Amino acid sequence: MWTSNRVLAGRTEEAPADQGTVTLGGDPAGVYLGGERRWVTLYAPGGYQWRPRAGDKVLVVKAGDHREAPCLVGRRAESEEELEPGAVRIQGGSGTALLSQAGVTLTGDTVALNGSVTVNGQSLESLISSIVREILASILG
């Protein structure tokens, strides 16, 4: 009967995933996907947290029976410095240049740290200093 198809007749089919630009950073985010979508939920691998910034290029997967629930699943990988195959880099910060961002790069048998390193709120340098002082105090009496 024509009335049963009336609800679906006015709908246009959305793509199951789309690329967009973040308009409102944070969680939930706002993303422009041919029109702005607000309250876009963020998803990430377990134990990993991130927040997109306005202007980030992102991938949005549309969930739900009628793709009515957009989910932000990742940010486009952009880097000024190439990674070798198999390498992993985690970086964050507000700067656009790689050197202004804190990060960890894993390459083969190397772990490279960029930025300030703290352990329980204490700088790595002061932590090493206090360990050396304790060792010297125990040796010298």
- Let me know: does 56 contact 22? Beta carbons within 8 Å: yes
Residue-wise pLDDT for 88-134, tens only, equals 888 876 555 555 678 899 998 999 998 889 999 999 999 999 999 99
Which residue type occupies 27?
Answer: D
Would strands 36-42 and 69-75 be described as parallel, antiparallel, or unpaired? parallel
CATH of 8-75, one of 2.60.40, 2.40.50, 1.10.3470, 3.30.1050: 2.40.50
Q: What's the predicted TM-score (pTM) here?
A: 0.66
- Kindly state the helix (H) or strand (E) to which residue 102 belongs, with its residue range: strand 102-107
All structural domains of the chain with their residue ranges? 8-75, 88-140
Closest by alpha carbon to 63, among 40, 36, 89? 40
Residue-wise pLDDT for 33-59, tens only, equals 988 999 999 998 888 888 999 999 999
Angle at 115 between CA 58 and CA 89, to 5 degrees: 40
